[in-house]
C-alpha cells in the first residue's frame, strides 16, 4: 500500500502526465516482474512501475515522491543476488530499462559515457569495436545493466587482474531524493578534489541517489588469451594451490574455483557433458592469462601448470581454440544459475584474504555437517571470493528457517576472523543486512545511518536495505 495519504488515482494521473500512459505500469505481469530479482524466491509486489527515459523525468518523479513521502525503489535488470532492487515496502518501482543509450565513446581519452540501462555485454562489445576494453564481466553480463553493476559494485571473473566496477567509475550523474541533479566528480583519471562522492554512490545499492549517467574508464583491448581447466582430487587442495600461483609471480586474468557439484550442475543445466569429470575429481580451477604476446602467455601458462602439478591434479585441459574457450566460460558462467536451479537456496558471497581460502572452504563444509545443509561452492578463488550456495534439498522447514541463520552467522563470524567480510560482489541489499553487525562496529553503522539521512531525510529511496534494524 502507498505510504502517502494522497489518492492512488491522483498519483497515477501525475505520473501519466510526466511519462505518458504506456510508461506507468500497473498490470499484474509488470508488477510481478518488478517484485523479484535473482535472490532466493523472494517477491514483494509494488503498486506501480515507472519507466523513466530521461534524467529530467527521474528528477520530477523523485521530487514528487519526496514531497508526498512515497517510497520508490530503483531497478536495473533484476539480476541481483542480495535483493538490492526488491521493493520490500511495496509502493513504486523505478525501472531504468529505457535509459539504455551509450552516449559517447571517447577513444581519445579511453572513456565511455552511458545510461544505466545499457546491458553490460552490449557496452563491452561497443567499446571493443573501438579497440577498447571494459573488463568487468559479471557472470550475468549478457543480461545485467551497467547501472545495477555500479549500484552493487559488481565484480566477476576478471576482477582478479582488472579490479571491480569501482575501479572504472570516474564520474556519475545522479538524482537525489529531492529531485536535485548533480555530477559527483570529473572525467579525469585522477581526482583529489574534495570528498569522493563518486565512490560513495558506487555500491550504495540505490539507497542514496538514482544514477542517470555513468562515465567509465576504459583500457586497451588485450588481443590474446589462454585458458586451462585443472582438475584436483581434493577441493581444499585446489584452494591451497591458488595462492601458490601468485607466490610464484604469475598474474592470471582469471582464476576460478568450481567444486565437483558445481561443475556437474552446470553441465546438467546446459546439457553439455563434453568436459570429462572423472569420479575421483573433487574440484577444478579455471585459469586464464591474457595480453598481447603469445610466447609470453605460453610461458606463463606452462609456469602456472608446473606450480599446480606440485599438487595432486588430474589431466590439465588446454582450451586451444575459441570454441573450447567459449564452452568452458559458458560452463563457469551458468554455474550460479545451475546451482540454484534444483532447490530453494540461499547464496553467501564470502570473501577472505586469498591465502585463507582453504580454511574458509573447510569451515563451510564443517558447518554443513553440523547443521545438516548441503552447499555448492564456486567462485573467484584468485580474489578469495567464495560463493556458497546453500541448497535446501531435504532440509526440514524448521531447520531451514530457524537453524540455518545461526549457521550463516557462524560462517560470517569465521570469515571476519580470517580478515574477510560478508560480500565480495553481490552486495548486502535485503538478505544480508541482518549480518552487518558482524562486519561493522555500532559506531560505523551509525555513521552509515547518518549518511543515508543526509541524502534521503524522508527515507523514500529504497528503504529497508543495507542497514540492519
Strands annotated E in 338-395:
345-351, 374-380, 385-391
CB of 197 to ligand MLT, least distance (A): 27
CB of 250 to ligand MLT, least distance (A): 22
In the region spanning residues 363 to 422, those forming contacts with ligand MLT, defined by CB under 6 A, are: 379, 387
Residues 6+ apart with CB under 8 A from 133: 124, 127, 218, 219, 220, 221, 222
51 belongs to the binding site for ligand MLT (CB under 6 A): no
Interface with ligand MLT (CB under 6 A), residue from 335, 359, 375, 415: 335
The per-residue DSSP string of 193-244 comes to SSS-HHHHHTTSTTSS-EEEEEEEE-EEPP-EEEEEEEEES-HHHHHHHHHH
CB of 434 to ligand MLT, least distance (A): 20
350 belongs to the binding site for ligand MLT (CB under 6 A): no
What mask of x and - would describe binding to ligand MLT in positions 424 to 463, judged by CB under 6 A? ----------------------------------------
State how far the alpha carbon of 372 is from the alpha carbons of 365, 367, 368, 394, 407, in Å.
Answer: 10, 8, 5, 9, 10
Nearer to ligand MLT, 284 or 387 (CB): 387
78 belongs to the binding site for ligand MLT (CB under 6 A): no
- Crossing angle of helices 357-371 and 235-247, in 10° steps, is 160
284 belongs to the binding site for ligand MLT (CB under 6 A): no
Q: What would the grid cell of residue 248 be?
A: 610464484
Question: What single-letter DSSP state applies at residue 279?
Answer: T
3-state DSSP helix/strand/coil % of the chain, to nearest 5? 40, 20, 40
CB of 40 to ligand MLT, least distance (A): 12
Which residue has cell 579455471? 286
CB of 139 to ligand MLT, least distance (A): 3
In the region spanning residues 121 to 140, those forming contacts with ligand MLT, defined by CB under 6 A, are: 139
CB of 334 to ligand MLT, least distance (A): 8
CB of 379 to ligand MLT, least distance (A): 6
Nearer to ligand MLT, 231 or 379 (CB): 379
CB of 333 to ligand MLT, least distance (A): 6
Minimal CA–CA distance to 71: which of 164, 206, 161?
206
Number of chain residues interacting with ligand MLT (CB under 6 A): 6
Beta bridge partners of 286: 229, 256
Question: In this chain, which residue has its C-beta nearest to ligand MLT?
Answer: 336
| Cβ-contact 465, 39 below 8 angstroms | no
Interface with ligand MLT (CB under 6 A), residue from 74, 78, 177, 336: 336
82 belongs to the binding site for ligand MLT (CB under 6 A): no
Report the sign of the C-alpha dihedral through residues 283, 79, 166, 204, in that order.
Answer: negative
* Element housing 261 (H / E): helix 260-270
Nearer to ligand MLT, 57 or 383 (CB): 383
Nearer to ligand MLT, 66 or 79 (CB): 79
Nearer to ligand MLT, 83 or 379 (CB): 379
Interface with ligand MLT (CB under 6 A), residue from 34, 49, 50, 81: 81
Q: What would the grid cell of residue 349 be?
A: 558471497
Strands annotated E in 87-209:
92-95, 102-106, 111-114, 132-133, 169-175, 181-183
89 belongs to the binding site for ligand MLT (CB under 6 A): no
164 belongs to the binding site for ligand MLT (CB under 6 A): no
Nearer to ligand MLT, 15 or 257 (CB): 257
Q: CA-to-CA distance for 358 and 365, rounded, in angstroms? A: 11
Q: What would the grid cell of residue 456 be?
A: 534521503
Q: CA-to-CA distance for 314 and 116, rounded, in angstroms? A: 44
CB of 387 to ligand MLT, least distance (A): 4
Residue ranges that bind ligand MLT, judged by CB under 6 A: 81, 139, 335-336, 379, 387
Amino acid at each position: 500500500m502507498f505510504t502517502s495519504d494522497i489518492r492512488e488515482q491522483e498519483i497515477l494521473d501525475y505520473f501519466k502526465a510526466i511519462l505518458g500512459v504506456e510508461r506507468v505500469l500497473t498490470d499484474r505481469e509488470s508488477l510481478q516482474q518488478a517484485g523479484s530479482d535473482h535472490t532466493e524466491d523472494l517477491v514483494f509486489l509494488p503498486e506501480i512501475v515507472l519507466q523513466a527515459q530521461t534524467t529530467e523525468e527521474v528528477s520530477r518523479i523523485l521530487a514528487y515522491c519526496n514531497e508526498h513521502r512515497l517510497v520508490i525503489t530503483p531497478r536495473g535488470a533484476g539480476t541481483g543476488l542480495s535483493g538490492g532492487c526488491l521493493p520490500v515496502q511495496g509502493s513504486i518501482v523505478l525501472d531504468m530499462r529505457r535509459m539504455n543509450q551509450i552516449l559517447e565513446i571517447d577513444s581519445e581519452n579511453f572513456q565511455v559515457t552511458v545510461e544505466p540501462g545499457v546491458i553490460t555485454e552490449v557496452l563491452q562489445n561497443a567499446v571493443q569495436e573501438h579497440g577498447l576494453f571494459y573488463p568487468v564481466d559479471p557472470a550475468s553480463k549478457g543480461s545485467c545493466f551497467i547501472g545495477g553493476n555500479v549500484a552493487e559494485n559488481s565484480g566477476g571473473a576478471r576482477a582478479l587482474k582488472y579490479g571491480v566496477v569501482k575501479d572504472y567509475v570516474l564520474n556519475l550523474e545522479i538524482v537525489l531524493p529531492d529531485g536535485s541533479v548533480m555530477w559527483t566528480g570529473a572525467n579525469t583519471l585522477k581526482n583529489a578534489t574534495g570528498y569522493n562522492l563518486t565512490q560513495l554512490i558506487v555500491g550504495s545499492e540505490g539507497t542514496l541517489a538514482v544514477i542517470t549517467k555513468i562515465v567509465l574508464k576504459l583500457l586497451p583491448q588485450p588481443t590474446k588469451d589462454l585458458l586451462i581447466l585443472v582438475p584436483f582430487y581434493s577441493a581444499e587442495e585446489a584452494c591451497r594451490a591458488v595462492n601458490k600461483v601468485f607466490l610464484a609471480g604469475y598474474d592470471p586474468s582469471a582464476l576460478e574455483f568450481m567444486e565437483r557439484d558445481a561443475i556437474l550442475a552446470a553441465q546438467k543445466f546446459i546439457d553439455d557433458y563434453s568436459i570429462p569429470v572423472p569420479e575421483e575429481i573433487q574440484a577444478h580451477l579455471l585459469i586464464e592469462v591474457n595480453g598481447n604476446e603469445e610466447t609470453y602467455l605460453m610461458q606463463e601458462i606452462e609456469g602456472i601448470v608446473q606450480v599446480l602439478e606440485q599438487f595432486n591434479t588430474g589431466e590439465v585441459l588446454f582450451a586451444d581454440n575459441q570454441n573450447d574457450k567459449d564452452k568452458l566460460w559458458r560452463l563457469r558462467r551458468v554455474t550460479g544459475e545451475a546451482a540454484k536451479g534444483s532447490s530453494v537456496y540461499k547464496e553467501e558471497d564470502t570473501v577472505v584474504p586469498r591465502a585463507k581460502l582453504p580454511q574458509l572452504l573447510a569451515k563451510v563444509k564443517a558447518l554443513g555437517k553440523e547443521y545438516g545443509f548441503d552447499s555448492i561452492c564456486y567462485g573467484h578463488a584468485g580474489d578469495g571470493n567464495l560463493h556458497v550456495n546453500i541448497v535446501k534439498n531435504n532440509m526440514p522447514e524448521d531447520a531451514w528457517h530457524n537453524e540455518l541463520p545461526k549457521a550463516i552467522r557462524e560462517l560470517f563470524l569465521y570469515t571476519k576472523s580470517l580478515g574477510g567480510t560478508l560480500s565480495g560482489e553481490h552486495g548486502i541489499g535485503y538478505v544480508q543486512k541482518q549480518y552487518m553487525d558482524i562486519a561493522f562496529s555500532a559506531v560505523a553503522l551509525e555513521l552509515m545511518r547518518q549518511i543515508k539521512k543526509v541524502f534521503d531525510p524522508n527515507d523514500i529511496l529504497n528503504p529497508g536495505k543495507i542497514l540492519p534494524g
